[in-house]
Structure 1
Amino acid sequence: MDDLLDITLPALHRGRTRVLASCQLRFAAGEVVALIGPNGAGKSTLLQAIAGLAPEPVQLTRGGRAVARAEIGFLPQAFAVRAALSVLDCVLLGRREALGLRVPPHLIAEAEAMLNRLGLSDLADRAMHDLSGGQQQRALIAQRLFRRPTLLLLDEPTSALDLHHQLETMALLRAHAAATRAPVLAALHDLSLVARYADRVLVLADGRIEADGPPEAVLTPDRLALHWRIAPEVLRARDGKSVIVPHLMATNMQG
């Protein structure tokens, strides 16, 4: 029970408009949770609030202990880096509190090992502003993992990645969660990635958490049709996981 992380969010308002209803979330140690919902559902707003970037007070506790904002790793959807610092330096900044005039050799070794895990070793000395969007995204994910957060929040962590690196990154996040026991909450649009890699799925729709459960129970044709306005085809991959093929509803098709 001490490993459970509890989050209590009040209703979130922007001006006079309530954008999200109050809710309570609980994450188990090492759990990978996907946050999904149609555009404008409030996924980014929810992640920002949990990260402590909203005016509303959010309570986070783990085993009865308050979780400080510094213990949360958050990668927002808008991640462009224009700084001239190297990729290695960028990763090291994940533990900026431990850095001094001289960076301890063991931290450099750990940062280099993290870059190696993400296949970024050959970019260690490259300036961040010279990288492609996908390379920057992977470097920033490495930085957040290097921080060893109590909770990792990611807003569309595969948005700039090619197919190989999408799979590689999601597998890495699962391995990280299992090794560190820190839960991961990631907003994702690719429902097939959700079905393959998430332990649990939260569906955000109409300003509230509409569903919470394992992928096979949540990613139903009726729910996808209701919130995404698609006629989904659910197939089985060779690993037994679901593959969601979206089709336009007949009423939306022309001709």
Structure 2
Amino acid sequence: MRRYGPAVLLMLVGAAVLRIALFSDLYLRYVQGGLRPYLVASGALLGLLGLVRAALTARAARCGTDAADHGAHLVAEGHDHLHSHEGSPRVAWLLVLPAAALLLFPPPALGSYSAARDEARRAAESVGTFPALPAGDPVDLSVSQFGSRAVYDSGYSLRGRTVRLTGFVTPGDGGAWYVTRLRVACCAADATTSKVEIRGPDAPETDTWVTVTGTWRPRGELGYPSAWPPVLHATTVVRIAEPSDPYEER
């Protein structure tokens, strides 16, 4: 069965990619939605290569020829005293662990642990005017949109408006808590944090997903660290299920 190892490995990795990208929305925990076709194509190609490799190995076995050993022998003849007879590098078997993890125990989306370590990476933005908000309250905003307007909008477009934010709970000092979202440009590896301090209701459990409705409370001077993080005085906090796409786009 050892000769079928490379084929099994290719099919296992392909199945893991297809499991998160084709048969579920789990891929959204790791990459942007626009990359789904490439993931599906990659998973299908790996699975196909595994089937082809298995078929070639089976045919070689029926013919009484071990194709992998024969190929290694030819290489050895052209390179002094190289006598490797492995069908594939042993290190390739390390791929079994992440592939099996994706199939059986997909890692969760990034949460409060990552958010707490990302504040120093927030990009500098300039104070200025922002487009008017849509009519009608409450107005739905992403956490990053609310933060940008609260900290940098010289037109104070949030003043007097009721807004609705969705994110996960992260704890702060002295009983403070935040509604937080992670923003990605390509994948989870480049995630940055946006968060809003919530005043009023008690904090739900850390990493709980919530939708918070409330009004903006100005703090500090626009564009300065004293204005960060922005504050929302909450009137309602509703617990929700984690969305299929947990990240905001940058």
**TM-score computed with the length of structure 1 as normaliser:** 0.22
- Greater relative CO, 1 or 2 (CA 8 Å, sep 6+): 1
User: Which has the greater radius of gyration?
Assistant: 2
**TM-score computed with the length of structure 2 as normaliser:** 0.23
Which of the pair is proportionally richer in helix? 2
Which of the pair is proportionally richer in strand? 1
